[in-house]
A = this chain, B = another copy of it.
Amino acid sequence: MAKSKEAKSLDTTTEEKIKAAARVVFHKKGFAATRTRDIAEEAGINLALLNYYFRSKEKLFDIIMFETLFGFMQNMAMVLNDEKSTLEKKVEMIAYNYIDFITKEPNVPIFMLSELRNNAGRLLEKLPIKQLIMTSAFFRQHQEAVAKGKITEPNPLHFLMNILSLVIFPFIAQPLLQGISGLNETQFNKLMQERKKMIPVWIKAMMKAK
């Protein structure tokens, strides 16, 4: 190895530069539309280095995809499995965390969900996501709330879908929504910030509806 194993500040490694570039380009254009040359250019490296470090476009993609999925799920899993926080607090946390996260990484949701559509099996099998969510404190607390009559909708999947829908969808539909409304990006982001406070209120109201 030409570089000492420990130091080299890790983020300026050639390998890391390529990964960072791959993340940017894959997230923006998806697997099919990105050319390895795009990544090389974004990283400022010779194209051959991409294959030298990662063997193939597909292997590099798998790494980026896994890290993206993992990063996205990690936060959710943490929140949903927190035994100390209430159900209401969890809704707040998800709204806050994800609206901030997606505002910074607006391409991640549609990237993830587009690519999952081709390959859900292969891409999800590395993550124990089913176990993590279905046995979470979140689901247990939901069932308790249903038992106590505090929540009318008995299916926790609807509950989870509703939260994620209200949080994530507007970002996915952003170009369409801006086309409809005429808002610019700044105004749109302001709208999303408003939703951080509103979504928990809305969720609370709708889950008591009957």
User: What residues make up the interface of A, taking CB atoms closer than 8 Å to B?
Assistant: 29-33, 107, 110, 112-114, 116-118, 120, 124, 129-130, 133-134, 153, 155, 157-158, 160-162, 164-166, 168-170, 172-173, 175-183, 191, 194-195, 198, 201-206, 208-210
Contact: A178 with B120, CB < 8 Å?
A: yes
Tell which of A129, A153, A195, A205 has the most Cβ of chain B within 10 Å: A205
Shortest Cβ gap from A200 to chain B (Å): 10
Q: How far is the CA of A175 from the CA of B118 in the complex (A)?
A: 9
* CB-based contact B110/A180 at 8 Å: no
B110 touches A114 (CB 8 A): yes
B170 close to A161 (CB less than 8 A): yes
Whether B161 and A177, one on each chain, are in contact in the complex, defined by CB atoms closer than 8 angstroms, is yes
| Cβ contacts under 8 Å, A203 to chain B | 206
Q: Contacts A201-B210, A204-B209 hold; do A120 and B179 have CB atoms under 8 A apart?
A: yes
On chain B, the residues within 8 Å of A175 by CB distance are 113, 116-117, 120, 124
CA distance in complex: A134, B32 (Å): 36
Nearest CB to that of A177 among chain B residues? B161
User: In the bound complex, what is the Cα–Cα distance between A195 and B157 (angstroms)?
Assistant: 11
